[in-house]
Amino acid sequence: MKLDRRFLLRGTCQGALAVMGLPFLDCFLDGNGKALADGRPLPTRFNTFFYGLGLTKKLWIPKTGGKDYEMTTQLKPLEPFRAKINVFSELRVMLDDNPNYQHWSGAGAAATGISPSKQGEFDTKTIDQQIADVISHGTRFKSVSAAAAGDPKESYSSLGGANALPAEPSPLALYTRLFGPGFQDPTKGDWKPDPQVMIQQSVLSAVAENRKHAMQNLGAPDRARMDQYFTSVREAELEMAAELQRPEIIAKVTIPDAPPEMTCNNALPNVRKVTPIMAKLGAIALATDQTRVFNLSISEPQSQLFIPGDSLGYHQSTHEEPIDPVLGYQPRVSQYNLYTMELYATFLKELDAIPEGDGTILDHSIVFSFTDQSYAKIHAVDGLPIIIAGGANGRLKTGYHIAGDGSPISRVGLTMQKAMGVSLESWGRASMETKTPYTELLV
Amino acid sequence: MSAEKKKTNDLGLAASAQPRKKYVKLAISQCFSAKLNDVSVPVVAGSWMRNVAGLILSVAAVSAVLAVGTLAARAATTEVVSLRRLTQAEYRNSIADIFGPDIEIRGTFEPTIRMGGLQATSTGVLSITPAGFESYTKMADSIATQVTSEKYRSKLPCAPQSASAPDDACMAQVLNHYGMLLFRRPLTPDELKNGVMLGRTLAKSSNDFYAGLRYSLATLIQAPDFLFRKEEAVTVGKNQYALESYSRATRLSYLLWSTTPDNELLSAAQNGELNTAAGLDKQVTRLMASPRLEAGMRSFFNDMFELDTFDNVSKDSLFYPKWSAIIAASAKEETLRTTLDLALHSDGDMRDLMTTRKTFLNRSLAALYQIPFPFKGDWVPYEFSPDSGRSGIVTQASVVAMFSHPGRSSPTERGVALMDILLCEPTPSPPANVDFSIVNDTSGPLKTVRERLTAHATNPTCASCHNHSDPIGLTLEGFDTIGGRRTTENGKTIDLSSTLQGKHVVGAEGLSHYLHDNPKYTMCIARKLYAYADGLNSEDVEPSAVKTAYKAFSDAGFRLRALIKGMVEAPDFFNAAPPAPETPNAATKVAAK
């Protein structure tokens, strides 16, 4: 069944974006709306959401486990997505012989299953890159990262060592990368491969040819770096190959106009304006298969978020605000915690807002939210809050509170990768090496 | 085929320059195949001699006539001691010097990270991620497009016989010319051959010589040989290694001018001059006499004083409506100008940087410092009055604002920063379970931050570090978080006295004299300059490594030029350690999983 792509959505109604809901979309799917018409499964996406400084145990951990847990104060912003999330409490982070790097060890353990041996560095590729290695074939970008606080260094997606993948530091930068030059609009009817791209492929080929010479006389660490350079060249080649293919789009989505320049810094009002735009752009990128891995951070681990008028700011508050003797927690800190959960909800909202087949982009994703501390005041890491979202195209059960049982945090990473279709028997290292995923969550 | 040697002027090569040892070897087949092992040539530092005009074309490939040390022979006795990714400034400066300042460079650059106090150190550790390379490939194409555009063509070293057809000779000439400048060494036969082939194929398919040239040039601009500067060391004695000539030229040029070696420096490399003390001195003198030295030192001090921190500093706009990105940029510039004026233009004593009241102001800063500004234009020299409380760069807006919170000052942060930046004494991380609960908020009974920090001094676990950093920061409490002056905090008069290593000091002036007299400060400049030049971690640079340089610095009354010259002309500056024995499965943190 061939339908003219002009029927695909591109509508504005007096300047406002209008999405034309067309039943025809289903004819690109098989009868159940669960796969592409040619039998290929719908892609599953993997996303991460990083926020610094954790949450307040007293206010976020539900007392009961299982499906009927009570919605706690700090989980409340996520309530609209209750059926689509899984909450993990009392997960353990085993440091073994490594120090507890403040504002780092927890994040490193969550993202790699390994207690980091160096401050600010991951011992291996982070989980999103490990998954991207498996699922990103044919997409334009292997992964895309964005930082709502405006600093390209606030990226917790890494190739290992000090090599974090830079994050787009503003909505406009993110838009330009995704939908600026080089973007083949799959919603346009008259799609044609760009001959320029083919020429650029020859250029990249020529660059790659010099690999042997470039690697000469290098010591092992420099060889690894040079190797990474050539891997990056290769990824650019793959990106161009993807640009030469006619894109397949199932989701109901419209490419928006470019966002304006915005101030992106640690002031909370600005982060609140920037996050939904970045989330939306990321969601559309997933829907149009520009990438299958999208990473969003709203702060650095030692979150410098502040509310104008509060001279302490978030991080300082975690250390300087006294514990209220009646409440039993730090009130201002807990308010900041809540704000970060609201931002997470914003991200989920944008993913859930794009219908695709029988579900939404969120249903066809996993979103892995992680942080650096379980109790920022004392830099504790045990009990690091982990809240994941999305059903991974039906491969992950959702709606549960998995109450702690001393499991290492790496069990979540293993479980998610299995749901993503990555074949691996174990994940993590040393005391956090695990072979047992949460089978109760795997379909 | 006979060996033809014609001279070419485009590289400014001396007509009669002879390398110390050479083999003249030519073969058309040599160039086609990668059989470089066939030619065994002793390794000669800098003995490349390229003859562009002697190219002989063939149907299948380009051949080159050359006197050369081959790659295979170099492989046995050559080691790459450092591989440093160009910083954004270095990339831009290099492109501007190679292709002209009117070439636009639009793109994002991957960030570097600060290690051991310097961003420069990370250039030797970081690789290029896919997102980073995406940007490089786009920029390379954009630059090459501009360079081959119509209005630029007259600058190219040759013109094709026909603009709508391939021309291997001209293609090779252009690629050799720019290749040498981009790679900071002559192109190898293979590199040239591949470049000409690509250029010819694309010129042919588009019936446009310049299209072919564009893509071939773009290949060079995104090659690792441009994006990374390789420092190669060769054997100079029994188990002794030193940088070969082109690597010396590269290191000198990026240190002193923050850009790629110019023609004269490249010739000096080629002729082996940089391997002699006299030849090295001649070039160093030339480079240091040039006004371009300012660009190099600007880049160094920007790094050492961590002025890039400003790119991510947020100040609370409710408390400090005056603060803006413009003030941040101005504050940065003020510190750089003050430093460069003292270090280079006045050729002054670097210790005076800690105490000088001389600075440069623009309108925004004048407003911040609450000084009348009846001047036209910006960056007017200004000297603070003795009672202004300003004393040296530690009291400039940059330093006091960068290491402070959005809404309040921080003696600890300032103290830690100054110790790290100026004294090369980084502070270890606080213990994980540090308990601030006795520090109440500002509406409690402890009004000033000094009172709130007393806990640091009385708790023995905390005191070991805080007794070093806090006293420094407390002397600067006369400045709020954006660098404005204040005498009271929350209604209470601020006490600016402190004890630094047993000495009683009061206020910023006391601090600046303490720093002025502290030998760790001048040693720190030396260590950081050395680390910056070599891409090392400053924490790994022992004072003994900079002994010669420091002596020259000290003997000359701590003049920066003496430090620079003493450092680069020290007999061991270009030395390298012998290659480490390879262990199988050598672990690298950077290796991909």
Instruction: Give pLDDT tens digits for B81-124.
Output: 999 999 999 999 999 999 999 999 999 999 999 999 999 999 99
Distance of CA B194 to the CA centre of its chain: 31
CB B480 within 8 A of CB B503: no
Instruction: Give pLDDT tens digits for B571-587.
Output: 999 999 887 776 554 44
Residue B51, classed as helix, strand or coil, is coil
CB contact under 8 A, A153 and B113: yes
How far apart are alpha carbons B303 and B113 in whole angstroms? Answer: 11
User: Which residue in A has a C-alpha nearest to residue B433's C-alpha?
Assistant: A378
How far apart are alpha carbons B266 and B568 in whole angstroms? Answer: 17
Instruction: Enumerate the residues of chain B whose CB falls inside 8 A of the CB of residue A166.
Output: 108, 110-111, 129, 131-132
- Write down the pLDDT at residue A120: 94
- In one-letter notation, the amino acid at residue A104 is W
Mean pLDDT of A250-258: 86
Instruction: Enumerate the residues of chain B whose CB falls inside 8 A of the CB of residue A221.
Output: 588-590
Strand partners, A10: none
Mean pLDDT of A327-339: 97
- From residue B90, alpha-carbon distances to A63, A118, B253 in Å are 57, 29, 10
CB B110 within 8 A of CB B260: no
Mean pLDDT of B376-402: 88
Strand partners, B229: B84
The confidence band for A32, taking pLDDT boundaries of 50, 70 and 90, is low
CB A282 within 8 A of CB A297: no
Instruction: Give pLDDT tens digits for B208-239.
Output: 999 999 999 999 999 999 999 999 999 988 88
Mean pLDDT of B435-464: 66
Rounded to 10 degrees, the C-alpha dihedral B310/B314/B318/B324 comes to: 40
Phi-psi region of B550 (alpha: psi -120 to 50; beta: other; left: phi over 0): alpha
- Write down the pLDDT at residue A287: 93
CB contact under 8 A, A100 and B432: yes
Mean pLDDT of A106-125: 97
- Write down the pLDDT at residue B353: 97
CB B300 within 8 A of CB B588: no
CB contact under 8 A, B141 and A118: no
User: Which residue in A has a C-alpha nearest to residue B218's C-alpha?
Assistant: A203
- Write down the pLDDT at residue B48: 40
Least reliable range by pLDDT among A247-251, A424-428, B387-391, B570-574: A247-251
Instruction: Enumerate the residues of chain B whose CB falls inside 8 A of the CB of residue A204.
Output: 137
Instruction: Give pLDDT tens digits for A116-147.
Output: 999 999 999 999 999 999 999 878 999 999 99
- CA of B546 to nearest chain A CA: how many angstroms apart? 25
CB contact under 8 A, A236 and B137: yes
CB contact under 8 A, A206 and B71: no
- CA of B318 to nearest chain A CA: how many angstroms apart? 6
Q: Across the interface, which of B129, B232, B316 has its CB nearest the CB of A232?
A: B129
Tell me the pairing of strands A293-297 and A45-50. parallel
Mean pLDDT of B305-318: 79
Residue A68, classed as helix, strand or coil, is coil
How far apart are alpha carbons A80 and A88 in whole angstroms? Answer: 18
Run of H or E including B4: none
Instruction: Enumerate the residues of chain A whose CB falls inside 8 A of the CB of residue B133.
Output: 229, 232-233, 235-236
Q: What integer best gives the mean pLDDT of chain A? A: 89
Instruction: Give pLDDT tens digits for A360-382.
Output: 999 999 999 999 999 999 999 99
CB contact under 8 A, B589 and A150: no
Least reliable range by pLDDT among A312-321, B148-157, B556-565: A312-321
Mean pLDDT of B264-292: 97
Q: Does pLDDT of A67 surpass 80?
A: yes
Residue A48, classed as helix, strand or coil, is strand
Tell me the residue length of chain B. Answer: 593
- Write down the pLDDT at residue A38: 58
Residue with the bigger pLDDT between B518 and B61: it is: B518
Q: What integer best gives the mean pLDDT of chain B? A: 82
Residue B327, classed as helix, strand or coil, is helix
The confidence band for B438, taking pLDDT boundaries of 50, 70 and 90, is low
- Write down the pLDDT at residue B53: 35
CB contact under 8 A, A232 and B125: no
ipTM: 0.85
**All residues at 6 or more sequence positions from B95 whose CB lies less than 8 Å from its CB, including other chains:** B103, B105, B143, B221
- Write down the pLDDT at residue B28: 33
Q: Give the number of A-B residue pairs with CB atoms closer than 8 Å.
A: 232
Instruction: Enumerate the residues of chain B whose CB falls inside 8 A of the CB of residue A299.
Output: none
Q: Across the interface, which of B129, B407, B593 has its CB nearest the CB of A165?
A: B129
Distance of CA B40 to the CA centre of its chain: 37
User: Which residue in B has a C-alpha nearest to residue A300's C-alpha?
Assistant: B312
Q: Does pLDDT of B42 surpass 70?
A: no
CB B378 within 8 A of CB B362: yes
Instruction: Give pLDDT tens digits for A148-196.
Output: 999 999 999 999 999 999 999 999 999 999 999 888 777 676 777 888 8
- Write down the pLDDT at residue B459: 74
CB contact under 8 A, A120 and B113: yes
- Write down the pLDDT at residue B180: 97
CB contact under 8 A, A213 and B190: yes
- Write down the pLDDT at residue A28: 43
Instruction: Give pLDDT tens digits for B167-184.
Output: 999 999 999 999 999 999
Instruction: Give pLDDT tens digits for B518-568.
Output: 999 999 999 999 999 999 999 999 888 999 999 999 999 999 999 999 999
In chain B, the percentage of residues whose pLDDT exceeds 90 is 57
Q: Across the interface, which of A217, A225, A316 has its CB nearest the CB of B405?
A: A316
From start to end of B351-463, where are the E strands?
Answer: 358-361, 380-383
- From residue A215, alpha-carbon distances to A219, A223, A306, B63, B194 in Å are 9, 6, 47, 24, 17
Instruction: Give pLDDT tens digits for B494-516.
Output: 888 888 888 888 888 889 999 99
User: Which residue in A has a C-alpha nearest to residue B231's C-alpha?
Assistant: A218
User: Which residue in B has a C-alpha nearest to residue A373's C-alpha?
Assistant: B432
Mean pLDDT of B62-69: 36
Instruction: Enumerate the residues of chain A whose CB falls inside 8 A of the CB of residue B223.
Output: 207, 210, 214
User: Which tokens in the block code for residue B153?
Assistant: 């063509």
Mean pLDDT of B334-347: 97
List b or e across A1-30, with b for residues whose CB sees 16 or more CB atoms inside 10 angstroms: eeeeeeebbbeeeeeeeeeeeeeebeebbb
- CA of B136 to nearest chain A CA: how many angstroms apart? 10
CB contact under 8 A, B591 and A224: yes
The confidence band for A242, taking pLDDT boundaries of 50, 70 and 90, is confident
How far apart are alpha carbons A304 and A313 in whole angstroms? Answer: 6
Q: Does pLDDT of B253 surpass 50?
A: yes
The confidence band for B52, taking pLDDT boundaries of 50, 70 and 90, is very low
- Write down the pLDDT at residue B528: 97
- CA of B583 to nearest chain A CA: how many angstroms apart? 9
- From residue B220, alpha-carbon distances to A209, B98, B194 in Å are 12, 13, 11
User: Which residue in B has a C-alpha nearest to residue A121's C-alpha?
Assistant: B589
